[in-house]
């Protein structure tokens, strides 16, 4: 029977206002220690399409045999960029 994984849906807030390509690349670097990233993105204001500092991620946190275990998820994660910043992870829940 295949392993279904341990899937978490995350809401990300207080993200820095940087261009989308840099945002998504650095979010991937920041979240990689916590699980395999299945999807990641940013939320935009529907009328103006402006980025308002929040996004989402879906992670598979199932440990992989023979690899280093993932870190435990936390509610404040350091930004993996060239300046000090942290963002919040809320609505942390397991997807069944």
Per-residue pLDDT of 5-30, as tens digits, reads 789 999 999 999 988 999 999 999 99
pTM of the model: 0.84
Domain ranges of the chain: 7-95
Residue 1 has pLDDT above 70, yes or no: no
CATH architecture, range 7-95:
2-Layer Sandwich (3.30)
**Least confident interval from 17-31, 46-60, 76-90:** 76-90
What is the helix (H) or strand (E) element at residue 47, kind and residue range? none
Q: What CA–CA distance (Å, rounded) separates 50 from 10? A: 21
Better-predicted residue by pLDDT, 81 or 52: 52
Backbone angles phi, psi at 5, to 5 degrees: 90, 175
């Amino acid at each position: 029977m295949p392993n279904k994984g341990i899937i978490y849906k995350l809401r990300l807030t207080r993200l820095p206002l940087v261009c989308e390509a840099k945002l998504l690349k650095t979010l991937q670097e920041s979240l990689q220690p916590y699980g395999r990233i299945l999807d990641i993105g940013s939320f935009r204001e529907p009328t103006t399409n402006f980025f308002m500092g929040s996004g989402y991620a879906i992670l598979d946190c199932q440990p992989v045999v023979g690899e280093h275990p993932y870190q435990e998820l936390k509610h404040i994660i350091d930004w993996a960029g060239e300046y000090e910043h942290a963002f919040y992870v809320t609505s942390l829940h397991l997807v069944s």
